[in-house]
Structure 1
Amino acid sequence: MSVEVWTYLLVGLSFALYLYIGYTSRVRDTKGFYVAGRGVPPVANGAATAADWMSAASFISMAGLISVLGYDGAIYLMGWTGGYVLLALLLAPYLRKYRKFTVPDFVGDRYASNAARTLAAIATIFISLIYVAGQMRGVGIVFSRFLALDIAQGVLIGVAVVAFFAILGGMKGVTWTQAAQYAVLIIAYLIPGVALAYLLTGNPIPQLAFALSDISERINQIQTDLGFGEYTAPFQSKPMLDVLAITGALMVGTAGLPHVIIRFYTTPDVRSARYSAFWALLFIGLLYTTAPALAMFARYNLISTLHDKPIEQVRQIDWVAKWEQTGLLKITDKNGDGIVQIAKGKAFQEKGGKPDFNAPDMSNPNEVYLDNDIIVLSTPEVARLAPFVIALLAAGGLAAALSTASGLLIAMSSAVAHDLYYRVFNPRAQERQRLLVGRLAMVPALAAAAYLGINPPGFVAQVVAFAFGLAASGLFPAILLGIFDRRMNAQGAIAGMLVGLTFTSVMIGLMRAPQLFGAAQPVIKDFFGISAEGIGIVGMVLNLVTALVVSRLTPPPPMHIQEIVDSIRIPRGAGEALDE
């Protein structure tokens, strides 16, 4: 069977599975809708957390970034992995002890302030909308290449599937669907990694092939010959300060992501939350330790396939022709010699932050434009693997994107229905009303997700990095100080969140004006050497300093709040009464 037939078959079967799980997991109360009834076993919750965590950015874009940037691309791998460990060990068990539904719920009750709750809810919606844009873009890319649909049609199909199981089943439907999606995405990711490792090194274990073979020496030599820096050399594309800032922003942003934190509320008790964190880390590690190997193999294969080959011969390759139709791959013959040249520099000039395929950039010899987001998806085709492997990777990419998108929709829905509607505007709302509002809140969220997926402000990992920066500068300090600083009060938390979110949002807008607003060029290039992807770490510091200063200049929180803060930090076994 052809790739297209296999893709329709595997994607169709996986979608049918997700819809079936969503239908059988439908809920009728808010506890089931927001926290899956707090009855999810640790292993299943670990798989669901891993799927929620490993978004389209992890599956599609992370290896692409490492492939293009080499050593410097590992900032995403280090930041996201370190951030999950930070969340699992430092915050999650204490938040689970607090027995709330959402992050804004914790913030509002901890600081005894509806203003703080409202600000945290708005931040949650804002962060989730930006994050979901990356997921929907990933969905559109897969559909446009493998199912011969344009990106807009692919995004709308993805939105429809997510809407079904998220609206019917809420967190319960999303959780069990994500567990199934993890199985799909990890199998889809590992098979090409194993196959390429064996083909290029003779060792079928990607991690060992990456570490023990001479593949890194070969790619370093190729990179040097083509005018790039060595693949394994640090700080070739980004200065050290920016690398550290981006890694830090991703790490603390991870610990402040509302859709990941809410997963720890779905377990029966604190002990189960800790075990689910362990399982999630194990499941995440399977993909994250494979990504650097797959990135290097993909880079080696792409250069070997395209560079110094006749351009007409290259364009007749099936996968090249199909990816060119999507606009995510373009080849131009700048010097008219009929030979494809890969070199350092941009193949095309940019217009509004995007490549202008009618205007080759004649300042450098590079003749190939390759979107970072297609590197993983194109790898099985470049390596000439079996059609079902190519189709399986497409199904895996969709699983990664849809699993995270569904978690984000739950986070947005709960922020609107539970934190704003019920806890602020209508505390007397009945169970049925709250559930209805939760479901209705998903409609505008889905519409916004579809629009941002069709018109995204950057490639997948870059969009996601912005969301992490906002989580780092807005929510993380309020959560951290809420747990560990009994003197922190509402005035400090609110001032810190306002300063952190405002600074980070403004700086991202100024530095990414072409991508966000279609400007000819950014208003500022960076902030003392720190790029838009890393600016969240500066916003976080400003948030922390502001919160600490303001809280010390204003009255302390009520004594009963300080006692609650002390109680949630009591070691396991001494506070079992807090568990349900």
Structure 2
Amino acid sequence: MSSQSAFARRLRRYYTWYTVCFIVFVGLLAVGEYLGLSQRVIGHVFLFVTIAIYAGIGVMSRTSDVSEYYVAGRRVPAVFNGMAIAADWMSAASFIGLAGTLYFAGFEGLAFVTGWTGGFVLVALLLAPYLRKFGQYTIPDFLGARYQGNVARVVGLAAAVLASFVYLVAQIYGVGLVTSRFVGMEFEIGLFVGLAGILVCSFLGGMRAVTWTQVAQYVILIVAYLVPVVILSYKLTGIPIPQAVYGGVLQQITAREGELFDAPSEIEVRNLYRLRAAEYERKIAELPLSLEAERSQLVERLNRLRLDDSPAREIALTERALRDLPRSPADARQRWERVQAEALERSRSPPRHAEAHPGASASESRIVRNNFLALMFVLMVGTAALPHILIRYYTTPGVVDARRSVLWSLFFIFLLYVTAPAYAVFAKWEVYYNVVGSTLNILPDWVASWGKVGLVRIEDMNGDGVLQLAELSLNTDVIVLATPEIAGLPYVVSGLVAAGGLAAALSTADGLLLTISNALSHDFYYKVINPEATTHRRLVISKSQLLIVAAVAAWVASLRPDNILFLVGLAFSIGASAFFPALVLGIFWKRANRPGAVAGMLAGLGVTLYYMARTHPFFGGTMSNAWFDINPISAGVFGVPLGFLIIIVVSLLTPPPPKEIQDLVDYVRYPQLPGKSRPVN
């Protein structure tokens, strides 16, 4: 115990110095900017210095010990494991996207906050201490031991790889976005630069290197998240505590919503968008004739302009319109449906920020409420079942430390999640009071700068030269990324935010990559194919799998797949339906057996994937096939109950597990006092 305490004290000293040095580093860059250091140089310094820090930690933490590589030697103190879990959990989607989701969805966006944080309560109560008591290295390890063999292990392995891979692709994609937007690199180059930092940590030191890197990454991401919004809070309210004062600003927004939403100019613009949606609906219905008619009109117009010796600008615009016209009826349908959906969205009055479950009728409100509850349930249960989070509880010295890790991780996640609503409210105040209603030639500078990279779009639909709310389109990511400019802060703060987003993406990618490669090498190669493999052979296989998975994920991310953030959301449904019933019943019900677990995991995962395929356009489905009007992102709401039901029914219809398996449940469930051989409460 004394050596563990000394280790914890040494870690506190190291990371205190690290935090101080990072703050000094940011301060020096701020001084450099004041003295004339260019924005491009600042961006590159942030990128390469932070990646060098992570790579350096990976080099110093390299190991060839199996226990260190898979579970960091089971000696990570609770507070540091909490920081690592928080960094592992808060991906680029949380860091950059959560505030934007709350901006657009208002009250409904709280499903993400309550679902994600509530999931850690389930982890503390139902999973973390028992998985730590079980020991071993991976979640399929537990499934294989509890459910007698490799069938349950392989099913769990397949689900873990599926859920983790789409999540991993999204994080690597996020790395490419951050580097391309803030450093000016080509997307693919920035992607592989970030990937290099990930590989150095994971390849050389496994979980040991990833853990200490994630602690360092948490320090950067939380500083980067809090600094801009604290300054913006002081600018708007005079109090630098955004979490405590944004309620007063929200009251002002509520009053402003009453003025904006019913203004005649806003109603006029929404009606124009409604007419546009109807026009595109007609064009889609008349394909392919409508496409040929549009092409003929543009060709005729271009010929007429050339004959009349019209201005070159008009000719160029017509040529561009002709060039951008869809090449085929299928392409036209896809593009026009997207434009129609956007026009329909803009034709609707936006939801009031503080209104719960808005809807034009009681039935619509009920549908919105049901989707809110379904999404919150799936995110909560999915959080409690994601393998890259659960394996972190194998790294603590004991069961008590596993419980404390959950408490600390909740605290460190709370610091970001309790601040995200303030980001959304302050940004909305800025837009509603200083942007909407302005003439187009005097808009704030940040609108123009982010418009150049496509995150802000403006269309003067009614031609009055004044910006209406319906004419402004903001990308979800812009809420956090543009806050430094909204607050009028130096560019070094924008670079700090970019470094925070990069840290969030890299930390989650580290954990996911290690989860996939360890599952393939340990659970598939060592446990199924070659149980006689030596320690050296196991580590070689693990590292080779890590490189292969990283290369494949980077290749998929470089294709810039559509709906990648939606697929991340689906990872929660996949994890929830595949793992949660089998893990919970495996811990708390001795009667659960192998046939029940395998059937339950396959049934839960199968119905979840089936519902996604039949309801989401990405897979060729449509919401007309939805059950109870539940959105496809919440597909796990059907898979989880079905998984529980199938496990219980099949287990009761088949023989119970043998006594040694039931004794394993007792061992996992109950702590043993020193000198006692029987379980005690």
Q: TM-score, normalised by structure 2?
A: 0.77
C-alpha deviation, 1:219, in angstroms: 1.3
Match of 2:514 in 1: 410
1:444 aligns with 2:548: yes
Using the alignment, how far apart are the partners of 1:526 and 1:143 within structure 2?
Answer: 38
In 1, Cα distance between the equivalents of 2:445 and 2:543? 44
What SS is found at the alignment partner of 1:486? coil
Counterpart in 2 of 1:175?
211
Structure 1 residues 426 and 8, CA, compared in 2 at 3 Å: closer, same or farther?
Answer: same
* Contact 1:6–1:388 (Cα < 8 Å) also in 2: yes
2:468 to 335, 341, 357: 341
**Residues 303 and 440 (structure 1), Cα distance of their counterparts in 2 relative to 1, 3 Å cut:** farther
Map of 1:569 onto structure 2: 669
> Alpha carbons of 1:69 and 1:9: their partners in 2 closer, same or farther (altered >3 Å)?
same
- Deviation of the 1:499 alpha carbon: 0.9
Deviates more, 1:170-179 or 1:278-287: 278-287
Which of 631, 641, 651 is 1:541 aligned to? 641
Distance, in Å, in 1 between the alignment partners of 2:429 and 2:154 is 50
Shift of 1:192: 1.3
Does the residue aligned with 1:330 lie in a helix, a strand or coil? strand
Q: Secondary structure at the match of 2:212?
A: helix
Give the Cα–Cα distance (whole angstroms) in 2 for the partners of residues 87 and 376 of structure 1: 29
Whole-angstrom distance in 2 between the partners of 1:179 and 1:502: 37
Partner amino acid, structure 1, of 2:599: A
Q: Partner amino acid for 1:551?
A: S
Mapped pair 1:153 → 2:189? yes
Q: 1:473-492 to 2 correspondence within 5 Å? A: 473-492=577-596
Matches within 5 A, 1:381-392: 381-392=485-496
Show the counterpart of 1:135. 171
> Structure 1 residues 459 and 64 mapped into 2: Cα distance closer, same or farther (>3 Å)?
farther
Give secondary structure in 2 for the equivalent of 1:369.
Answer: strand
Partner SS for 1:340? coil
Instruction: Could you tell me which runs of 5 or more consecutive residues in structure 2 were left unpaired when the two chains were aligned.
Output: 1-32, 262-348, 360-366
Q: CA deviation at 1:509?
A: 2.5
Q: Is the 8 A contact 1:35 1:263 kept in 2?
A: yes
Structure 1 counterpart SS, 2:477: helix
Between the aligned partners of 2:387 and 2:672, the Cα distance in structure 1 is 24
Percentage of matched positions with identical amino acids: 45
Structure 2: distance between partners of 1:525 and 1:456: 25
The one-letter code of the counterpart of 1:46 is G
1:216 aligns to 2:320 (yes or no)? no
Mapping of residues 406-555 of structure 1, within 5 Å = 406-454=510-558, 455-458=560-563, 460=565, 462-513=566-617, 516-517=618-619, 522=622, 524=624, 526-555=626-655
Structure 1 residue 42: deviation in Å?
Answer: 1.8
Counterpart secondary structure, 1:178: helix
SS of the residue corresponding to residue 381 of structure 1 reads helix
Query: Structure 2: which amino acid aligns with 1:339?
Result: V
C-alpha displacement of 1:389 = 1.4
SS in 2 for 1:372: coil
Q: What letter matches 1:51 in structure 2? A: A
Q: Does 1:378 align with 2:507?
A: no
Matches of 1:149 and 1:304, distance apart in 2: 35
Tell me the distance in 1 between the aligned counterparts of 2:128 and 2:97: 27
| CA RMSD, 1 decimal | 2.1
Which range moved further: 73-82 or 375-384?
375-384
Counterpart mapping for 1:20-35 below 5 A = 20-35=56-71
Based on CA coordinates, which of the two structures has the bigger radius of gyration? 2
How many angstroms apart in 1 are the aligned matches of 2:180 and 2:442?
24
* TM-score normalised by length of structure 1: 0.90
Residue 128 of structure 1: how far off its partner (Å) = 0.3
Matches within 5 A, 1:93-492: 93-211=129-247, 214-224=248-258, 225-226=260-261, 227-236=349-358, 239-314=368-443, 319-342=446-469, 366-454=470-558, 455-458=560-563, 460=565, 462-492=566-596
> Which structure shows the bigger proportion of residues in helix conformation?
2
TM-fit CA distance, 1:368? 2.5
**Structure 2 CA distance, aligned partners of 1:59 and 1:490?**
40
Q: What's the CA shift for 1:370?
A: 1.8
Letter in 1 for 2:389: V
How has the CA–CA distance of structure 1 residues 194 and 166 changed in structure 2, closer, same or farther, with 3 Å as cutoff? same
Task: Specify whether residues 200 and 526 from structure 1 end up closer, same or farther in structure 2 by C-alpha distance, changes over 3 A only.
Answer: farther
For 1:475, what is the secondary structure of its paired residue? helix
Show the counterpart of 2:40. 4
Determine the C-alpha separation between the residues in 1 that align with 2:62 and 2:220: 22
After superposition, the Cα gap between the structure-2 partners of 1:157 and 1:319, relative to the gap in structure 1 and judged at 3 Å, is farther
Distance, in Å, in 1 between the alignment partners of 2:190 and 2:456 is 18
Task: Name structure 1 gaps, 5 residues minimum.
Answer: 343-365
CA contact (8 A) 1:469 1:504 kept: yes
1:36 aligns with 2:36: no
For residues 326 and 429 of structure 1, do their structure 2 counterparts lie closer, same or farther at Cα, with a shift above 3 Å needed? Answer: farther
Q: Number of aligned pairs?
A: 546
C-alpha separation in 2, matches of 1:255 and 1:180:
24
Q: Residue 100 and residue 223 in structure 1: after superposition, are their counterparts in 2 closer, same or farther (change >3 A)? A: farther
CA separation of 1:329/1:491 partners in 2, compared to 1, >3 Å: closer, same or farther? same
Q: Distance in 1 between matches of 2:561 and 2:609?
A: 16
> Does the 8 A contact of 1:246 with 1:534 survive in 2?
yes
Check 1:574–1:475 CA distance in 2 against 1; reply closer, same or farther (3 A cut): farther
Deviates more, 1:282-291 or 1:381-390: 381-390
